[in-house]
Amino acid sequence: MINKIITSRMQESDITQALKIWGEQYGRHCSSEAYPDHWKKNTREIEEFLKRKVESRTGIVAKLDNSLIGYLTYDEFPFNGEKSVFCPSIAHAAVEEYKEEAYLSLYKSISKEWVDTYIYNHMWTINYNDTKLRDILYDLGFGSYLIDAFTITDNKIYSNSPYEIRRAELQDVEILYSLVEESRQYYHSAPLFLKRDQSSKNEILEIIQKGNVFIAWEDNKAIGFINVSVSKRDNIIDLSVSNSGLIDEIGAYIQPEYRGKALGKELLKNVFDYCNKNDIKSVHVDFETGNLFANKFWRKYFNPMLISVRRTINKNIND
Ligand SMILES: CC(C)(COP(=O)(O)OP(=O)(O)OC[C@H]1O[C@@H](n2cnc3c(N)ncnc32)[C@H](O)[C@@H]1OP(=O)(O)O)[C@@H](O)C(=O)NCCC(=O)NCCS
């Protein structure tokens, strides 16, 4: 079968069918009420994205008997300083009937181009519930990296931790700055090994001014925080939509000795209360699967919708 599939550059005339296949794939795997259904009805931005890929010749299609059964497009970018390619979830899809054959043909064809140009770090985002595609990619050598998850804010959280939680104020900038620095050390440590950019005190001040940081206190000691911002636009990469809550920027952090005592839950309850008061219906978070705490905590309250997987090719292959 795989020998009968022909891959070629994506053309503008392929886009209508590509969008149809993408929509079917999204509908099959993203149908919980926590997932934004916006993308089922609004495909204009995805169409624009694919048009740009046709123009930049960074898209290919797989055809069987002249009919399109799958497509794949990509962005090239430096990931932690390494030449890398990234295929977001809107950048690929295949018909269910020929899923394995289509994806294998697409990856075989495009990965040769990538490796020939010394791109050894390959990253894809796929629908979390698409276990068939996940198995195909894992057999190729991909592994989990990041999860995008969503929840609706009228999910109830019951919590009665003994700590006080207050909205951060301008005078808390020094305290928050040092907690954020502490969180950077945590991200840097084993087994996560994540390098995060340092935030300046001014940046922390701006985050506080937006008014959505909650700090937890034990008497006069700050022991943790959570930060939620409100999205101003639809995002075709993580599929969050305008006016949803985003746990981003400085995220959430609790000092080690206070973890596992329901404080994270209490902080999240403050975020949900804030969202409910401000007519925000859903919240998005992303977290590395190698983050042992985050990988357990967020799954309790959020539904994973997308998973990003990563493969690194042996660096001596072109020697
Ligand atoms: C992630 C974090 C904010 C969670 O806060 P926490 O106070 O430790 O979590 P809680 O005690 O409120 O736990 C809430 C629920 O998650 C579960 N949970 C939390 N951490 C867990 C772990 N490591 N293993 C298993 N379950 C865990 C708890 O069992 C609890 O479940 P329950 O409601 O059924 O009792 C905190 O551990 C932390 O700051 N970790 C380091 C920084 C980090 O990873 N930040 C997130 C970046 S994306």
Mean pLDDT per segment of 10 residues, for the chain of length 319 residues?
89 98 96 91 95 98 97 96 97 98 98 98 98 98 98 84 94 98 98 96 96 94 97 96 96 97 96 96 97 98 98 97
CATH of domain 154-280: 3.40.630.30
DSSP state of 197: P
DSSP state of 79: E
Q: State the pLDDT at residue 104.
A: 97
Of the residues 293, 295, 301, which should be mutated to test ligand 1's pocket, given the most ligand atoms within 8 Å of the CB? 293
The burial of 41, by beta-carbon neighbours within 10 Å (0-12 exposed, 13-18 middle, 19 or more buried), is given as exposed
Cβ 137 vs Cβ 99: under 8 Å: no
Q: Does an H or E element contain 150, and which?
A: strand 143-152
The domain ranges of the chain are 2-149+308-312, 154-280
Q: State the pLDDT at residue 3.
A: 76
Say whether 154-280 and 2-149+308-312 share the same fold. Answer: yes
Q: How far, in Å, from the CA of 294 to the mean position of ligand 1?
A: 6
Ligand 1 atom having least distance to the Cα of 261 = 11
pLDDT tens digit sequence for 165-211: 999 999 999 999 999 999 999 999 999 999 999 999 999 999 999 97
| pTM attached to this predicted model | 0.96
Q: State the pLDDT at residue 158.
A: 82
Q: State the pLDDT at residue 152.
A: 95
Q: State the pLDDT at residue 159.
A: 78
Q: State the pLDDT at residue 161.
A: 83
> Cα–Cα distance between 147 and 285 in angstroms, integer?
8
Ligand 1 atom having least distance to the Cα of 226 = 3
Ligand 1 atom having least distance to the Cα of 286 = 48
Q: State the pLDDT at residue 124.
A: 97
Q: How far, in Å, from the CA of 71 to the mean position of ligand 1?
A: 39
3-state secondary structure of 17: helix
Sheet holding 303-312, edge to edge: 75-79, 82-87, 121-127, 303-312, 143-152, 282-288, 245-247, 229-230
Residue whose CA is closest, atom 16 of ligand 1? 297
Q: State the pLDDT at residue 155.
A: 73
Of the residues 259, 267, 285, which should be mutated to test ligand 1's pocket, given the most ligand atoms within 8 Å of the CB? 259
> Cα–Cα distance between 294 and 287 in angstroms, integer?
6
Quick one: tokens of 302?
Answer: 């959020």
Q: How far, in Å, from the CA of 293 to the mean position of ligand 1?
A: 6
Q: How far, in Å, from the CA of 102 to the mean position of ligand 1?
A: 39
Residue whose CA is closest, atom 34 of ligand 1? 300
Q: Give the binding-site residues of ligand 1, using a 6 Å CB cut-off.
A: 186, 251-254, 259-265, 287, 291-294, 296-297, 300
Q: State the pLDDT at residue 309.
A: 98
Q: How far, in Å, from the CA of 159 to the mean position of ligand 1?
A: 13
Q: Does an H or E element contain 298, and which?
A: helix 294-301
Q: How far, in Å, from the CA of 184 to the mean position of ligand 1?
A: 17
| Homologous superfamily of domain range 2-149+308-312 | Gcn5-related N-acetyltransferase (GNAT) (3.40.630.30)
